[in-house]
Amino acid sequence: MGKKGTEISGVDVKELIKDLNRAYADEWLAHFSYLHMARTVTGPGYEDMNEMLEKVAKDEAEHAEEIANRILELGGMPLANINELQNNANASFPMPPKDTTDYKKIIKVVELAEAGAIEVYNKIASKTLGKDHVTYQLITHILSEEVGHEEMFEDLEG
């Protein structure tokens, strides 16, 4: 981030970069898990589940990209080592169920990951509110998409 950008930011930039890197790791883990479940899901009506998982997986990849850009703007560096993703994430890897026809479990895996993401982004939003408008705007945009993801999968429970 440039001089003026740093000057107007009222947050602890180092801490913010750490928070953003943790969220960045979460996004990659979710992306990987959802895409894997999209590719492997079977059973009746699997096409719809495949489509939804693929769409949400793409959103998570987009979030990772947006967060990486903000980390760079703040003068930080997004995690470079894929081996460090798990250790730096807020939550553990959203493990796909062994049974690829088990929609209930797939839905649970996604819901748990989304609930975690909502909590994380809510915290970052509170930390940056009125202090770092650029990060705040990005985070609330991502937060609203995570809320949409959670709802999408909750609706499947019927």
Binding site for Fe ion (CB under 5 A): 27, 60, 63, 114, 146, 149
DSSP secondary structure letter of residue 99: -
The least distance separating Fe ion from the CB of residue 59, rounded to whole angstroms, comes to: 6
User: CA neighbours within 13 Å on the CB side: how many for 82?
Assistant: 3
Q: What is the DSSP annotation of 101-132?
A: T-HHHHHHHHHHHHHHHHHHHHHHHHHHTTT-
What tokens were used for 14?
């180092």
The least distance separating Fe ion from the CB of residue 87, rounded to whole angstroms, comes to: 19
Nearer to Fe ion, 19 or 146 (CB): 146
Nearer to Fe ion, 16 or 110 (CB): 110
**Those residues with Cβ within 8 angstroms of residue 23's Cβ, 6 or more apart along the chain or in another chain:** 63, 67, 90, 117, 120, 121, 124
**Dist CA 138 CA 71 (whole Å):** 12
The least distance separating Fe ion from the CB of residue 44, rounded to whole angstroms, comes to: 25
The least distance separating Fe ion from the CB of residue 142, rounded to whole angstroms, comes to: 6
Nearer to Fe ion, 1 or 112 (CB): 112
The least distance separating Fe ion from the CB of residue 29, rounded to whole angstroms, comes to: 10
**Those residues with Cβ within 8 angstroms of residue 109's Cβ, 6 or more apart along the chain or in another chain:** 33, 37, 94, 95, 96, 97
Nearer to Fe ion, 60 or 111 (CB): 60
Nearer to Fe ion, 118 or 134 (CB): 118
